[in-house]
Amino acid sequence: MNSLRFQRDLIPLSTAVARTRTSPSPTNSIRILIGEETHMGCQLLSDTLKRCRLALGAVHCAISSPQILQTAAENVIDVALIGEDLQDGAYKGIHVVEHLRAVHPNLRSIVLVRSIRRELTLDAFRNGAKGVFCRKEPIETLLKCIRAVHEGQVWVDSEQLEVILQALVEAKPMRITNVLGACLLTKREDEVASLVAEGLTNREVATRLGLSEHTVSNYLFKIYEKLGLSRRVEFVLYFFSRRSQNAANKAVQDVSIQGRAQSSA
């Protein structure tokens, strides 16, 4: 059916996290870890991926949280596809993503869900997922998602982005200026913030500004603290929403100016 091939606006946001590894994978080769509730589910997804035009390295499968963590510890994994439910319990996939992020920071996780739900989406990204993928989407979209995440991007669609931005707004109003209108960031912090928001890695920011990566990391820590953020993805999403809001405000101002001009005429 045509409806099955419908794709929402997909927005890969560059998180610009430097991916340093002691044993890099071959060019365009992606080493996959599949975590599903059953062996059959793992095998079906593995077979599907292998039939597609996706340059894969090794593909490992696991059906429980302990197996996933053990597999990740024993093998070099680039991208983990983790179902929301695992053999050891419902929503265990969401929890194991947090452990993977803590122990293997270079491993990037995508959570596979039956449907997009607000709390599930928020929990997945809070725990460190780089994408939340609905199983109802076509396999071609999953391949794009895997490639984007492997390249260092965060994969969200417009619906998920709206959920995340709304949660950020509800959690705590974030401002770059204080109540008196003074900028919260120093000139250098603002320079770092702008480059990170454009998608540059810490190394690229350091090169652009003539700083060390360590110094850039320290600036980012201070920026997160001042803005009430905890992760780079929140920072990028915040700036994305800020630019969107600025554009919306400008549009309203333009309409208002045009209306006053017409009235004067």
CATH code assigned at 189: 1.10.10.10
Is 206 domain-assigned?
Answer: yes
Same domain, 49 and 132: yes
Strand, helix or coil at 132? Answer: strand
Q: Which of 167, 184, 208 is the last residue of a domain?
A: 167
The whole-angstrom separation of Cα 238 and Cα 173 is 11
Examine residue 94 and state whether it is found in any structural domain, yes or no: yes
In a domain, 262, yes or no: no
153-182: average pLDDT: 66
The 10 Å CB-count burial string (b at 16+, else e) for 23-39 is: eebeeeebbbbbbbbee
The rounded radius of gyration (Å) of the Cα atoms in the chain is 21
pLDDT (tens digit per residue) in 75-99? 999 999 999 999 999 999 999 999 9
Residues contacting residue 14 through CB under 8 Å, at least 6 positions apart:
152, 153, 154, 199, 236
Q: Which of 167, 197, 227 is the last residue of a domain?
A: 167
Domain count for the chain: 2
- Note whether 195 and 149 are same-domain residues: no
Per the model's pLDDT, the better-predicted residue between 1 and 33 turns out to be: 33
Please indicate, yes or no, if residue 260 is contained in any of the structural domains.
no
160 shares a domain with 56: yes
- Range from 164-173, 192-201, 252-261 that averages highest in pLDDT: 192-201
Domain boundary, last residue among 167, 200, 231: 167
Residue keyed to tokens 């309203």? 252
* 200 pLDDT tier (thresholds 50, 70, 90): confident
Alpha helix segments (H runs only) across 19-157 = 39-51, 65-74, 92-103, 118-126, 139-150
Domain that holds residue 105: 2-19+28-167
**Distance between CA atoms of 214 and 117, rounded to whole angstroms?**
38
Q: Are residues 148 and 224 in the same domain?
A: no
Secondary structure class of 144 (helix, strand, coil): helix
Worst-scoring range by mean pLDDT, 30-44, 130-144, 154-168, 171-185? 171-185
Does pLDDT of 188 surpass 80? yes
Cβ burial of 90 (10 Å; 0-12, 13-18, 19+) is exposed
